[in-house]
Amino acid sequence: MTKLSDHHSNTLVKLLLIGDAKSGKTGSLVSLVKAGYKLRILDMDNLLDILKYLCERECPDSINNVEYRTLRDKRRATSQGMVLDGAPKAFVDAVKMLDSWCYTDLDGSVVDLGHPCDWGPDSILVIDSLSRLCDAAYDWRETLAPRGRSGEYDGRAVYGDAQDAIESLLAGLTSRTFKTNVIVIAHVQYLDLPDGGRKGFPQGVGQKLSPKIPQYFPSVVHYSNKNGKRVIKTTSTPLIDLANPAPHLIDAEYPMETGLATFFAALRSRPTEPEEEAPPQTPPKKITTISTRRG
């Protein structure tokens, strides 16, 4: 029997984190490092500078609990502007990393952390950011498109296949078989709706994918500037729909500096603390054991 009390939400968090550019998304990860989590960052933006400096200042003893790999396709300058330098590999390499976190570092050493789906509840896989991962998926698919004599190709097929590839990736990361915490960081894209309204969605490959992205996450938060102070919002606004899996445990907003760690702590135990065991009870004649541990 599959019991709701044993649901994987007791031990794992799958979080979509959205916000405007430079709203503090990457830097806010420092609170999770301080809380004892191991962060494994698939760095598509090459903007981890702020996280490095915050870790050096606030938790230098834990800075090496953050492992990252930066993946960006090479580009070169031409008379027509910047173009891809060779075949794009960033998206393919990213998908490989999500299956097996193994690669050769710049110094020639081999990094092998095994399969991300098996890292467990003390680790967090971070995609930073989905926006650039989508760009890499488009570049990968565009080079595969059949060309006509004058170089033309079916742009709709490129967008469609790139969207399908990203959606399939998100489905895998948020599935019950991916037994690791996941944070996907995305920029906000504001779209006009058919009814004349306007909504903010995670930036995807084209506009059709963006409204689908939040469907895969039980938790969706928004980074916002409130009266000059940056905060993490967990409840929906007229402009952006969010998802809060436990409104009775999670506040409507948190300070940027500590918010992610507080959010994780509200949903599950800290990685460095043992889980509390249920107090002993006097059993009746017949008893069915049900786990009462809180994750």
Determine the pLDDT at residue 252: 95
Indicate the domain borders of the chain. 4-267
Give tens-digit pLDDT for 71-129: 999 999 999 899 999 999 999 999 999 999 999 998 999 999 999 999 999 999 999 99
Q: Read off φ and ψ for residue 117, nearest 5 degrees.
A: -65, -15
> How far apart, in whole angstroms, are the C-alpha atoms of residue 236 and residue 116?
31
Helix, strand and coil percent figures for the chain, each rounded to 5? 35, 25, 40
Q: Read off φ and ψ for residue 86, nearest 5 degrees.
A: 90, -175
Please count the other Cβ atoms lying within 10 Å of the Cβ belonging to residue 98: 18
More confident residue, 275 or 191: 191
Give tens-digit pLDDT for 12-38: 999 999 999 999 999 999 999 999 999
Give tens-digit pLDDT for 251-288: 999 999 999 999 999 998 667 544 444 455 444 443 33
Give tens-digit pLDDT for 208-230: 999 999 999 999 999 998 888 99
Residue 180: CA count within 13 A, CB half-sphere: 24
Determine the pLDDT at residue 272: 55
Using a pLDDT cut of 90, give the percent of the chain over it. 78
Residue 58: CA count within 13 A, CB half-sphere: 18
Determine the pLDDT at residue 2: 79
Closest CA relative to residue 14, chosen from 214, 222, 295, 168: 214
Determine the pLDDT at residue 185: 98
153 with 146: CB under 8 angstroms? Answer: yes
Q: Is the torsion defined by CA of 87, 90, 91, 97 positive or negative?
A: positive
Closest CA relative to residue 182, chosen from 21, 39, 44, 285: 39
Looking at CATH, the fold of the domain delimited by 4-267 is given as Rossmann fold (3.40.50)
Give tens-digit pLDDT for 123-174: 999 999 999 999 999 999 999 998 888 888 898 999 999 999 999 999 999 9
